[in-house]
Amino acid sequence: MTREILMPALTPTMEEGTLARWHVRPGDSVEAGQVIAEIETDKSVLELEALEDGEIGELMVEEGAEGVPVDRVIATLLEAHESSDSEEADPAPPAELADEAVASGIGRPESGSSSKPRSQGAASTPVIPSSGGRRNRVPASPAARRLARERGIDIAALMGTGPRGRIVAADVEAALPALSSDDGSTAVAATGTPPAELEIPFEERPLSTLGKTMARRMAESKATIPHFHCSIDVCVDAALSLRAELNASGDGPKLSLNDLVVHAVARALQDTPRMNVQYRDDRLIRFRRVDIAVAVALDEGLVTPVLRGAETLPLPKLASRMRDLNERARARQLDVEDYRGGTFTVSNVGMFGIRQSWPIINPPHAGTLGVGAAVPRPVAIAGDDGTRVDVATMMSLTLAADHRAVDGVISGQFLRRLKEALEHPEALPDSGERAQSPNTSDG
Amino acid sequence: MARMTFAAAMVDAVVARMHDDPTMTLIGSAYLLGPTAEHPELNAVRERYADRIIDEPPIAESAVAGLAIGSAMSGCRALAHFGLAAFAVEAWSQFIHEAGVAHHQSGGQITVPAVFVMMHGIMPIEHSQHSRSPYAMLANCPGIQIVLASTPADIKGLMTTALRSDNPTVVMNHPLLMAMEGEVPDGDFSIPFGQAEVRRAGDDVTIVATSHKVHVALEAAERLAADGVSAEVVDPRTIVPLDRAAILASVCKTGRVVVVDDSPRTCGFGAEIGALVAESAFDDLKAAVVRLSPPDTPIPRGTVAQTPFRTTPEKVVGAVRSVLW
Amino acid sequence: MQQTERQISLKAAVIEAIAEEFRRDPETFYIGEDVGVAEGIFKQTQGLHAEFGDRRVIDTPISEAGMFGLTVGAAVAGMRPIVEIMFSDFLTLVMDQLVNHAAKIHYLSGGGFRVPLVLRTAIGVGGVLGSTHSQTLYAWPAHVPGLKLAAPSTPADAKGLMTAAIRDDNPVLYFEDRMTYNLKGPVPEGEHIVELGVADIKRKGSDVTLIAFSRMVHVALEAADALAAKGISAEVVDPRSIVPLDTETLIDSVARTGRAVVIDGGHELYGIGAEVAATVAEGAFDYLDAPVMRIGAPHNPVPCSKPLEAMMVPSADQVVAKVERMYG
Amino acid sequence: MIDSVQALAIFESMLLIRRFEETVIDLWATVETESHRHVYIGQEAVGATIMELLREDDLILTTHRNHGHVLARGADPGRALAEILGRANGFNKGRGGSAGLTVREAGFLATTGQVGGGIGLGIGAAQAQKIRGRGGICVTFFGDGGLEEGIGFEAMNIAALYRLPVLLVCENNSVGVTTGRAQNEWSSSSMAAETLGDIPRALGIATEVVAGESVTDVHEAASRLIGDLREGRAPAFIEMRTRRWPGSRSFNPQLVTGVTNLDDIWEPVSVTGEYSDWINRYDPVIGYGRDLFRQGRVSRSEIVAMNERVGRTVEAAREFALASPLPSAESGLAGTFA
C-alpha cells in the first residue's frame, strides 16, 4: 500500500513552506521517527519525521522548492519489504478505531454520497505535526454550527469531511437522516418522503441492531453523564524506541503503540484506584480489577471488546490478547463475554492523524480515554541555561470522566501517572525481557 | 529603569542616535516634544549638532520628505517630523513612490534609512483637517514600515529600531500618549519590529488594539474582568510588518475578536485584521470579528461633536458583549 | 440590462457618457494633462475636444495638485467638472486637496456646499509602465470618508456609472483599468444610468461567491468557467462601486453559497479585498462554510518588467486554487 | 577652453551614448522587450559634459530619460542595456527597466518616473553632502515638466534656505509626452513664467540658461556653478535648452534621422533630407565633432578609430544583454525591504 506524505502545517498560520532539504532518496528505507526532510517556514527550519517504517517511493517536490502549499503531497511512502505482508507491523491497526464521531452512531459518510468534489485525507500518512497553542475545539464552519444549532445536533458528534477534518454544512446535513431514523423515523423511512429541510439528494438506510444500541447508549451518556475532559501531552519517543527494540528482537508478537498505551493505562489505573470506579445510583463502586474496553470500529457500528485483568498482563501477552480480540471482532466472532462489562475504555483515533479526540464516556464506565496521533511537535524544554525548543514525538491523551464518580484531582493523578508510565516505559514492570529498571516508586 | 513620559522616551532614542551617528539629520525637531514639554538633552543636541538640525522646515511636506529620503539614499540617516499626519498626506508621493519602492526597484542597490514621525488621531481643539489616522493607507503600499507605539518603553525601543533600520519607517503617535508616563529601560534599548505584545492575557475574547487605543482596551478589559469576562489585549506595535502569528495565536485561544483603532472603518486596520482572521483562524472563530472604528465621516471640530468619534472603554465593552453570545 | 445589438469598447462607452452629459449640461468641463488636442495618452478623451472645444476640454501643466484644486473650487462654485488624473498613482500628488478639502467640504459646511466632481483615473498593471504608473490605489480614497468610488468592468457599466458619477452631488472617483479600455460589449444608446452602490451578479452560482472589481471581474468569470468544469458552481458578483458598497448583495450571495473569494487588482494588504472579506465574514458569518479568501497583488512594488509584472496580477488559476483549497 | 584630453573624453562619451541609443531603438524593433523608453539622443552634450565635471563622490538624481547620464558616468553599458531590456543581469535585476535604471556604484540614488520627484530627493542628497562636508555635491536632472509639480518649488525653496549644494539641471527639450509643443520657443511646455529660471531666481538661486547642444557652453556654465557649489555658494540652477530630436516619442522612438553618419563631421555638404536642419544645427555629436575636427584637435582617423572602439563596446553590451535571462516571476516577490 502506498501512502502519501503531505506538506505539514508547522505553525497555525503556515500556508506554505520551503522544502529546504531532503534527507532521503527514492528507494531509501526509513523507520518511524527518522528525519526525512527539513521544512523551512518564515520563522524556522523544522525536521519532518516519518511516522511509519517503509520505503520512500517518489519525491514529488524538489529540494529547495519554495511556496509548497500545506497538504500538498511531497512524497510517497511504500510499505517496507519485510512488513508488506504483516499487518501487525502497522503501528495503528485500523481495527482500533473509536471516536465520539463513530461512537455517537453517525457513521462516516458513505463514499460516493457526497455531491461535492472532495478529497478525503484519511489515507494520508499522519506526519503532520500539530501546531501548538490552538484551542481544543472541534473544527467546524460557522455554517455547520448554525445548522447544528438549528437542528439540535451536537456538532461534536460529527466527523468532518472538509479540509483538515473541518465539519462543514454538508456533514450536518448528511447526519440528519441518520439521527432522525433513531426514533420516530420509521414513518419517514416507510413513506420515503425526505424531511422538508433536506434539499440535497440523499440515501437512507436503517441502522443495524448494533448501530441502534450504540446510538442510544451514546445519546444517553452525553445527556445524562456530567462529562468533564482533561488532556495531557505525552512524549512517546521512549515508547517508540522500546517498541522498535522489542519488535526487532523478533520472537514475540509485533507490538503496536496502542498496545503500549493500553498497557500503561492498566498500570495507571492500578496505581490510581480511585479512577477505576463506577457511579451507580448514589453509590460509588471501586473495582479491584482493571478491565479495559478497547473500541473497535466495524462497518455496522462500534464494539468494545474487553481486556480483562489488564493490569496483570505482561506486555507481550497483552499484545497478543489485543490482537486476538481485534481479529475476532472484525470476523464478527466475539462472544457476549468478550464485550460485556469493563471498568474503563480506550479509544484511539491517532491513525487518522487526529491530534486530539474528546470522547463520549462509554457507560457505565467512569472514564474513557481518547488517544490522538503520535506526531513530532516542537516542544519547549526548560534547561539550566534557559528554555529551548526541541522536536519530540508527542501524543495527546484526553480523558472524559464522569464527574459524579471522579473529580479533577483524581483525573489529574491518573493522567500524570499515565504520562510517567508512557514516557518511561522501561520502568513498566513486565514490559519485556529488556526492561531492567526496578519499579518506580509508587505514584 | 526610569520613569518618564512617552515624548521624553521617544526623544531619548532620537538624542542617542544623534550622538551615535554623525551623519544623521533631524528635521522638524521643534515638533518632537509637542508645544509645552522641555527636554534639556534635546536642546543640547540642537545646539551641538546645529548643522544637522532643521528645527522648523518650511511648510512643504513633500519636499521635506524628499529631503529626508534623498539624504537617506545617500547613506545619511534622516528623521523628519511632519507635525500632523493629516498634513503629511501631502508627502505621500515621496513616501510610496520614492522611499517605498527604491530598494526593490533598484534591485537592492539603494536603501532608505529614513524615519517619518507624525501625530495621528483626533486633535481635540483642532479643525477637521487636522484629525486623521491614515496609517492603513500607507500600509496598503509596499515598502514602508509602520510603527504605532502605545507606551513610553515601547516608543523608545521601537524608535531605536526605526533609527537603525535600513528601511523607511513611519512612526505615528497619538497626542494623548505624549504626556503619559511609564517605566523606560535605561541605555540602549530596542524592540524588534513585527513582534506584538500581549498587554493582558485572557481567554474569552481577543482585543487587537493599537496606539492610544491599547489603553482604552485595557481599561475595558479591567471592567470586563469585574464581570467575569477574561479579555486578552494584543498590541501589534508595528502594523507593517504585522505579527500575524501572535494575533492568530490569541484568536485561536479565544475564538472572538474585537479590533479597536483610530483608522476609519473602510479599508482600515480592522479590515485587514478581520480578513486575516476570517481566512487563517477560521476554524477557531466563535463569532464574527467586530471592528470598532471611528465612523466613516470626516471628524468635526470641537470636543462635543467629536464624541461619536472617540472610542471609549464603554464602547469596547459593548463590542465585546456583542461577540460573547 | 437592455438588449442591444451595438457593441462598443469600454473606452468609447465612457466617452459617450461624458459627451452625452456635456450636451445635456453646459455647466460641465473636462480638465487634465494631454486630454485636449492629444485626446489622452490612451485616446480616452477621443472626440471631446473636437466637439466641445478649448473652453470645456482643458489641457494643464503637469500639476495635479493645482488642477485638482481648480476642480474642487469649480465644483463648489456650482460646476460639474471632470478632472483626469492620468494614473491612480498620481492621487498621491493631490492628497491634500482630496483628503482635506474635496472629501470634507460638504460635511464641514453643514451641508451648505456640494462638491459635484468626477475624478477619472487609470488603474491596473500591464504594458510594463513600472512602479509609479501601474498601481491600483483605490483603497486609499475608499479609506477617506466623503468620497465615492466607482470601478466598472464592462462597457455598459462604464457608461452607466460615468453618467451617474457626473450627476452625483459628491466627489466621485472613477477608476478604469486601462487593460479593459478596448474590451467590447453591448452598450445601451442614449441615457443609461447605473446607480452607485448597486452590485451586479455577473454570473449565477451556488457553491462559491467570487467578488471582484473592475478587470478582476473577467478573471473571476474565467475562473468560474474553470470551476464549472470541475463541478463547482461559482457566482460572480461585481460591486461596481466601492463606496458606497452594496454589502447587502454581497452578504446575500455569500450566505447562499457559504464560500467567498475576493479578487482585487490592488495590493492585498490593507486593501479593498480586506474590506470586502471582513465585511462578508462579519455579515455572513453564520453562513460561512469555509474561510473567506483574498487574492490581491503581492506586497511589493510593480516591477518595470514584463515577466515580473505578470505576478502582480491575480490570475484565474489562483482563484481556482483558492476555491479548491476550500474543499480540502 | 576645455583641454584636449577632456574634450576627447566628452566626445567619446557622447558618441557612446548615441550608438547605445541607436542600439536601444534597434532592439525595440527587433527584440520583444516591452516597456516604454525615453532616449537621450540630442541631449548628449549635457550629460556627457556635466558627468565629466563631477567627482567620484558626487551624487546624482535622474529621471526616465536617464540612459545618457548613466553611460556618461561610466556605468557598464552591458548591464545598463540588460536592465533596459528587463533582464535578470541588469543593474536592478530587471525591476527598474529603462525608466528606472539606477546605478548606485556610479553615484545614482534614484531614477524616478514621478515627475518632479527627483527634485525633492536631490535636496536630501545635498543635505547628506553638506553633513559629510567633503565638498561633494548633488546634481539633479529633470525635464521641463518637473517644475510644473509643486514639489519643485518646495524643494528649491528649502535648498535655497539651507544653502544645500545641489545643481538643478533642467533639460528643457521643449516637448511634452504627447503635446509636442516644440513651437513655443523654449519657455517650457506649460509654464506661465517667461523662462524657467525665473522661478529659482525669485528664490535667490543662481540661474543660468545654456544652449544645451553646445559642449562649450555647457562646460563653461556648469564648471563655474559646480565650483561655486563646492565652495559653499549654493544652490544653482541651469536650464539646458536642447532642441527636440525629431524621433523622440516615448512609447516608440523612431530613428528618423538615421544612424548617425560621422562623415557628416568632415563633409557637411553630404547632409540632406528632411532632417538635415536638425543634424546641421542641433545634433550635438555632429556639432562637437565638427568643432574638434576644425580646431585640429582630432583627426578623421582618430574619430574613425574612436567610432570603432565605441562600436565594439556597444556590440559587446548588446551581446551581453541579449544573452542575459529574463528574471523569474518569483524573483520579483523578494526584496521589498532591506
Do the chains contact at B134 and C139, CB–CB below 8 Å?
A: no
Do the chains contact at B298 and C145, CB–CB below 8 Å?
A: yes
Do the chains contact at C294 and B288, CB–CB below 8 Å?
A: no
Q: Mind telling me how many Å the CA of D42 is from chain B's nearest CA?
A: 27
Among residues A240, A366, A219, A353, the alpha carbon closest in space to that of A292 is found at A366
Place of cell 523606560: B184
Does domain B2-184 fall into CATH 3.40.50.970? yes
Cβ proximity of C178 and C42 under 8 Å? yes
C104 interfaces chain B, CB cutoff of 8 Å: yes
CA dist., res. A428 & res. A435, Å (int): 8
pLDDT of residue C35: 92
Which of A117, A163, A168 minimises the CB distance to C231?
A117
Range of the domain at D307: 4-328
Do the chains contact at D145 and C300, CB–CB below 8 Å?
A: no
pLDDT of residue A164: 74
Task: Output the CA torsion sign for A40, A46, A51, A57.
Answer: positive
List of chain D residues whose C-beta atoms are within 8 Å of the C-beta of residue C308: 86, 94-95, 327, 329, 331-332
Among residues A227, A158, A223, A273, the alpha carbon closest in space to that of A368 is found at A227
Domains of chain A: 2-85 (2.40.50.100), 106-206 (4.10.320.10), 227-427 (3.30.559.10)
If residue B238 lies in a helix (H) or strand (E), which one and from where to where?
strand B238-240
pLDDT of residue D298: 95
Domain-located, residue D278 = yes
CA dist., res. C134 & res. A23, Å (int): 44
Question: Which chain A residue lies closest to B282 (C-alpha atoms)?
Answer: A141
Question: Which chain C residue lies closest to A165 (C-alpha atoms)?
Answer: C328
> Over 60: is that where the pLDDT of B142 sits?
yes
Cβ proximity of A321 and A349 under 8 Å? no
Q: Per-residue pLDDT tens for D14-55? A: 999 999 999 999 998 777 666 677 899 999 999 999 999 999
Q: What 3-state class would DSSP assign to D87?
A: coil
Task: Output the CA torsion sign for A298, A304, A308, A313.
Answer: positive
Q: Per-residue pLDDT tens for B186-216? A: 999 999 999 999 999 999 999 999 999 999 9
CA dist., res. A358 & res. A398, Å (int): 6
* Cell numbers for B89: 498626506
- Beta strands (DSSP E) in B85-216 are 114-119, 145-147, 169-173, 181-184, 197-200, 205-209
B21 interfaces chain A, CB cutoff of 8 Å: no
Best C68, C88, C90, C92 member to test B by mutation, with max B CBs in 10 Å, is C92
CA dist., res. B135 & res. B148, Å (int): 9
Which CATH number goes with the domain that contains D302? 3.40.50.970
Low-confidence ranges of chain A (pLDDT < 70): 1, 10-14, 41-45, 80-137, 177-199, 209, 426-443
Q: Mind telling me how many Å the CA of A118 is from chain C's nearest CA?
A: 6
Domain-located, residue D335 = no
Cβ proximity of B246 and B193 under 8 Å? no
Q: Is B130 a catalytic residue?
A: yes
What dotted CATH number matches C200-326?
3.40.50.920
CA dist., res. D237 & res. D169, Å (int): 6
**Segment 280-319 of chain C within 8 Å of chain A by CB:** 285-290
pLDDT of residue A38: 83
- Beta strands (DSSP E) in chain C are 7-9, 28-32, 57-59, 80-87, 118-123, 148-150, 172-177, 184-186, 200-203, 208-212, 234-238, 241-243, 260-267, 293-297
Which amino acid makes up residue D155?
Answer: A
At residue C60's C-alpha, the angle toward residues C59 and C62, to 5°, is 135
Cβ proximity of C268 and C295 under 8 Å? yes
pTM for the whole thing?
0.69
List of chain A residues whose C-beta atoms are within 8 Å of the C-beta of residue C287: 142-143, 146
Q: Do C7-186 and C200-326 agree at the fold level?
A: yes
Does domain B197-323 fall into CATH 3.40.50.920? yes
* Cell numbers for B60: 512643504
Q: What 3-state class would DSSP assign to A74?
A: strand
Q: Who contacts C53 (Cβ-Cβ below 8 Å, separation ≥6)?
A: none
CA dist., res. A45 & res. A59, Å (int): 19
If residue D284 lies in a helix (H) or strand (E), which one and from where to where?
helix D284-294
For chain C, domain boundaries? 7-186, 200-326
Domain covering C7-186, topology: Rossmann fold (3.40.50)
Split into its structural domains, chain D has a count of 1
pLDDT of residue A10: 66
Q: Who contacts A94 (Cβ-Cβ below 8 Å, separation ≥6)?
A: A351
Task: Please provide the average confidence, as pLDDT, over all residues in chain D.
Answer: 89
pLDDT of residue B31: 87
Q: Per-residue pLDDT tens for D96-137? A: 888 889 999 999 999 987 888 899 999 999 999 998 899 999
D190: number of Cβ within 10 Å: 19
* Mean pLDDT, residues B305-314: 83
If residue A230 lies in a helix (H) or strand (E), which one and from where to where?
strand A227-235
Q: What 3-state class would DSSP assign to C204?
A: coil
pLDDT along chain D (338 residues), means of 10: 92 98 89 76 96 96 95 97 92 90 94 88 93 93 88 93 95 60 44 85 95 95 96 94 82 85 89 89 95 95 97 97 90 85
pLDDT along chain C (328 residues), means of 10: 76 98 96 91 94 93 90 92 95 91 87 94 90 91 95 98 98 96 96 97 97 98 96 97 96 95 96 96 92 94 87 95 90
CA dist., res. D221 & res. D208, Å (int): 7
* Cell numbers for A42: 518564515
Q: List C-alpha distances in Å: D270 to A28, A331, D243, D247, D267.
A: 79, 106, 22, 21, 6
pLDDT of residue A431: 44
Cβ proximity of C146 and C170 under 8 Å? yes
Domain with CATH 3.40.50.920 in chain B: 197-323
pLDDT of residue D108: 95
Do the chains contact at A142 and C285, CB–CB below 8 Å?
A: yes
Q: List C-alpha distances in Å: C304 to A183, B272, C142, C311, D20.
A: 69, 28, 27, 12, 20
Q: List C-alpha distances in Å: A381 to A235, A378, A388.
A: 12, 10, 5
pLDDT of residue C235: 98
* Cell numbers for A140: 467546524
Q: Which of B130, B174, B212, B215 is catalytic?
A: B130
Q: List C-alpha distances in Å: B121 to B80, B125, B137, B176, B309.
A: 19, 12, 14, 9, 10
List of chain D residues whose C-beta atoms are within 8 Å of the C-beta of residue B115: none
C232 interfaces chain A, CB cutoff of 8 Å: yes
Q: Who contacts B160 (Cβ-Cβ below 8 Å, separation ≥6)?
A: B13, B16, B17, B188, B189, B190, B191
List of chain B residues whose C-beta atoms are within 8 Å of the C-beta of residue A11: 245
Domain-located, residue D135 = yes
Helix axes A237-249, A408-423, angle to 10 degrees: 50
CA dist., res. D41 & res. D21, Å (int): 7
B28 interfaces chain C, CB cutoff of 8 Å: no
C42 interfaces chain A, CB cutoff of 8 Å: no
Best C42, C62, C93 member to test D by mutation, with max D CBs in 10 Å, is C62
Q: Are strands C80-87 and C118-123 parallel, antiparallel or unpaired?
A: parallel
Among residues A1, A42, A7, A2, the alpha carbon closest in space to that of A22 is found at A7
